[in-house]
Amino acid sequence: MTDVRLLTGGEAVAHAMRQIDPDVVPVYPITPQTPIIQTFAKLIADGEASTEIVNVESEHSAMSAAIGAALAGGRTMTATSSQGLALMAEVVYIAASMRAPIVMALGNRALSGPINIHCDHSDSMLIRDSGVVQLFAESAQDAYDLTVMAPRIAEDARVLLPVLVCLDGFTITHSAEPVSLLPDDEVARFVGPYRLRNAVLDTTRPTTQGPFAMPDYYFELRRQQAAALEAALDVLEEVAAEFELLSRRRVGALEAYRLEDATRAIVALGSTAGTVKDVVDELRDEHEAAGLLRLVSFRPFPSAAIAAALEGCASVAVLDRADSPGGTPPLHAELAAALYGSDLELAGHVYGLGGRELHPPDVREIFRGAAAPYVGLRGERCPV
C-alpha cells in the first residue's frame, strides 16, 4: 500500500505540503527552490489542497508575512534559497524570537558573489545563530520525511520555533529519486490541527507581541529561546520515533553509518552523505575501518551524541560545504567545540562550494588523510 513515486526532492516537499495543507504559504521564487513552489502552486490551482498562497514581492516580505500568518493563528509554510534567505535573514531571527512555528524548505544554494545557482551550505550557515531548527536531508525521501515531521517539531509547546528543512540545491531539489509517500489521511492525522496559545486574531484575549526589551529583560528572553532549541533535540527524537511507527523510516538528529568499530570517520551534512556511504562500503570491503557520521540536525547541534558516536575513532575528517573566510568553517568549529579535550584527531575540509562536485575518489583521499583543506579546488596545494 505504499505509494512509491519517482519525484525530485522539490516535488517531494511539495507533496508533503499538499498533504499537510497548511493555511498560509507566503513565498517568493528563487532557484533552486522553484520546483517546490511551482509544483505546489499547480496542486492548489487544480484543487488538490486549499492553502492560501501569498505571492509576495520579496523574501523579506515572505518571512514577514509568514510571521504574521503564523502568529495570527494559521499553520504557515514557506520556502527559499540562498539570496532569498540572506534577504530575509533579519526577519528569520525575529521569527525565532517571536516563537513562530513556521516550516520552511530551504533549497541550499551558494550565496553571491559571484552569483551562482548551485549547492553549498553558505545560506544555511548564515543564519546558524538565528535560533531556528535546521535539519538536512540526504535524499528526496529524507526531504519528504522531514517536511512531514517538521510541523510537529515546530509546533511542539516546548519548541515553538521555525524549522528549516534543508535540501541540497539541484542535487536534491531537482534530482528524481524514488520517494515513498504516506497516505494523505495518515499525514493529516500525524501533523494534527494547528493550535496557538496567543493567536493574534483572538481579539477577546489581546496580547502585545514583539515588545521592546531593555537590558533588564532582553537576556532572559533570549535565554528562553536557547532553551527551546535544547528542547527541540528531545522533541525531534520523539517525533522521529512516532514517524517511524508510521513509515518504518527513522530520521533522527544524527545517523551513525558503520561507525561502531570505525577508526576513521567523516562527518558530513546533506546529500554528500550518500556518496560517502558508498565509499565507506567500499573501504569496509577493503577491510578499512571507515565510518560516517551524518548530521541531520545542525541546529540544535547534538554535541553530546556526536562525541559519543565518535568515541572509538582515532581521527575524524569534517566536511564543510561552506567557508568562513579568515576564520574556521562552521561545521569544523562546532566539531572542535564538541570534541574539545578529547584525543580525537580532527581535520577540516571545505568542499563543494558553488556546486563543485565531490566524487568517490575525493572521499577516499579524505579518508586517507591525503586531501587538501579545500577539496577539489584547482590550484590547491596539499598541506605538507
Partner 1 sequence: MSRLKTIVRNQRGVQPLRGGHSLCQGCGVPMVVRTVLSTIRQPVVVVNATGCLEVATTRFPTTAWNVPWLHVAFENAAAVASGVESAQRVLRRRHALPAGEEVAVVVFAGDGGTYDIGLQALSGALERGHRFLFVCYDNEAYMNTGVQRSGATPFGASTTTSPAGLDSFGKAQRRKDMTAIAVAHHVPYVAQAASTHWHDLSVKVERAVAADGPAFLNVLTDCPVGWGHEPKLAKQVIDAAVETCFWPLYEVVEGRHRLTYTPRQAPVEEWLGSQQRFAHLFRPENAELISQIQGQVEADWNELLARCEEGRM
Partner 2 sequence: MDGMTEIRWHARAGQGAKTAAQILALALLRTGKGVQAFPEYGPERRGAPLRAYTRVADRPIRRHDSVTDPDVVVVLEPSLVHEAGVAEGLAPDGYVVFNGDEAPPELDEVVVRCVPAQRLASKLGSGFVNMVMLGAVAAELGEPPLADLQDAAVETLGRKVAADDVRRALSEGYAWLN
Partner 3 sequence: MAELSTWESLPIAGAVRPSGAPRTKTGGWRTGEKPAVDVSLCVNCLLCWLYCPDSAVTLSGETFTGFDLEYCKGCGICADVCPVAAIEMVPE
Ligand X SMILES: Cc1ncc(C[n+]2csc(CCOP(=O)(O)OP(=O)(O)O)c2C)c(N)n1
Determine which residue in the list 12, 13, 14, 30 makes contact with ligand X, applying CB under 6 A. 30
Site string for partner 2, 16-55 (x = CB under 8 A): ----------------x-----------------------
Site string for partner 1, 148-187 (x = CB under 8 A): ----------------------------------------
Determine which residue in the list 87, 92, 104, 181 makes contact with partner 1, applying CB under 8 A. 87
- Give the contacts of 361 (CB within 8 A, at least 6 positions apart): none
Q: Which is nearer to ligand X, 19 or 82 (CB)?
A: 82
Of 81-89, 184-192, 257-265, 270-278: span binding ligand X (CB under 6 A): 81-89
Read out DSSP for 219-233?
A: HHHHHHHHHHHHHHH
> Least distance to partner 2 from the beta carbon of 117, Å?
7
Determine which residue in the list 7, 20, 66, 148 makes contact with partner 1, applying CB under 8 A. 66
Q: Is 15 left (phi over 0), alpha (psi -120 to 50) or beta?
A: alpha
Measured CA distances, 376 to 165, 263, 273, 337, 351 (Å): 27, 24, 17, 26, 7
290 binds partner 1 (CB under 8 A): no
Q: Output the CA angle 369-373-374, nearest 5 degrees.
A: 125
Of 35-43, 128-136, 187-195, 242-250: span binding a copy of itself (CB under 8 A): 128-136
Question: How many other C-beta atoms can be found within 10 angstroms of the C-beta atom of residue 367?
Answer: 23
- Give the contacts of 358 (CB within 8 A, at least 6 positions apart): 272, 275, 319, 351, 352, 375, 376
**Contacts to a copy of itself from residues 334-373, by CB under 8 A:** 334, 336-341, 345-346, 348, 352-357
- Residue holding cell 546533506? 270
**Contacts to partner 2 from residues 249-278, by CB under 8 A:** 271-272, 274-275, 277-278
Task: Measure the CA dihedral 372/174/87/95, to 10°.
Answer: -100
Classify residue 353 by its DSSP letter: G
Cell numbers at 200, concatenated: 493574534
**To which H or E segment does residue 325 belong?**
none
Q: Output the CA angle 173-178-183, nearest 5 degrees.
A: 100
59 binds ligand X (CB under 6 A): yes
Query: Interface with partner 2 by CB under 8 A: which residues?
Result: 4, 6, 8, 32, 117-118, 138-139, 168, 170-172, 174-178, 212, 214, 271-272, 274-275, 277-278, 357-360
Query: Interface with partner 1 by CB under 8 A: which residues?
Result: 23-24, 26-31, 34, 37-38, 41-42, 44-47, 50-58, 60-62, 64-74, 76, 83, 87, 90-91, 94, 98, 112-115, 200-203, 206-214, 217, 221
